[in-house]
Amino acid sequence: MALEKPYQDVPGTTIFDAEQSRKGYWLNQFCMSLMKAENRARFKADEAAYLDGWPMTGAQRAAVRARDLNECIRLGGNIYFLAKLGATDGRSFQQMAGSMTGMTETEYREMMLRGGRSIEGNRFVGEDGDAQAHRQPQGAAGKTSDKEV
């Protein structure tokens, strides 16, 4: 019997279940290593060399180098592990969370000051809320990076 996943119809959301955890095992364990100051220093000095010490996939390494947290999560990462990478870069949880929406830091912060993202239209895949796939990216940050690509 397959793993029961009643949460797959929630838009813009990846649940860190056993399957994701298995995919992301080394990615997440690499992140854990950054809880030691000396490892943070080694990583910052030469990211590629440090990442080579971990049996991660090429796609996982590339996502880490790009600080693409959505991609890291798709490849099995979990935000509480990835937060160690963010902390190494001196970034807050708000900066990390905002980076996954396509908004600039200011746009995301202002959304939170207005009371946060609304639940309306964001409960089920197929509604029309701002977290739905057809409405990405949400802000100026995402649009800029599209142009650069």
Partner 1 sequence: MARVTASVYTSHVPAIGAALDQGKSDEPYWRPLFRGYDFSKSWLAGQRPDVVFLVYNDHATAFSLDLIPTFAIGMGERFDPADEGWGPRPVPPVFGHPGLAAHIAQSVVQQDFDLTLVNRMDVDHGLTVPLSLMCAGPQGADPAWPFKVIPFAVNVVQYPVPSGRRCFQLGQALRRAVETFDEDLDVQIWGTGGMSHQLQGPRAGLINREWDNAWMDQLIADPAACSRVPHIDYVREAGSEGIELVMWLIARGAMADVAGGAAPQVAHRFYHVPCSNTAVGHLILEDT
Residues in touch with partner 1 (CB under 8 A)? 6-7, 10-18, 21, 25, 28-29, 31-32, 34-37, 40, 69-70, 73, 78-81, 83-88, 92-94, 96-98, 100-102, 108, 111-113, 115-117, 119, 122-124, 131-133, 136, 138
- Are 72 and 60 in contact by the 8 Å Cβ rule? The answer is yes
Write the DSSP symbol of residue 10: S
Q: Which is nearer to partner 1, 61 or 132 (CB)?
A: 132
Alpha-carbon span 4 to 17, nearest angstrom:
10
- Are 63 and 71 in contact by the 8 Å Cβ rule? The answer is yes
Q: Least CB distance from residue 53 to partner 1, whole Å?
A: 16
Alpha-carbon span 117 to 113, nearest angstrom:
10
Q: Least CB distance from residue 63 to partner 1, whole Å?
A: 14
Q: Least CB distance from residue 79 to partner 1, whole Å?
A: 5
Q: Which is nearer to partner 1, 61 or 137 (CB)?
A: 137
Alpha-carbon span 54 to 34, nearest angstrom:
13
Crossing angle of helices 58-66 and 25-33, rounded to 10°: 40
- For the record, the structure tokens of 145 come out as 């990076």
Q: Which is nearer to partner 1, 15 or 59 (CB)?
A: 15
Q: Which is nearer to partner 1, 15 or 49 (CB)?
A: 15
Q: Least CB distance from residue 121 to partner 1, whole Å?
A: 11
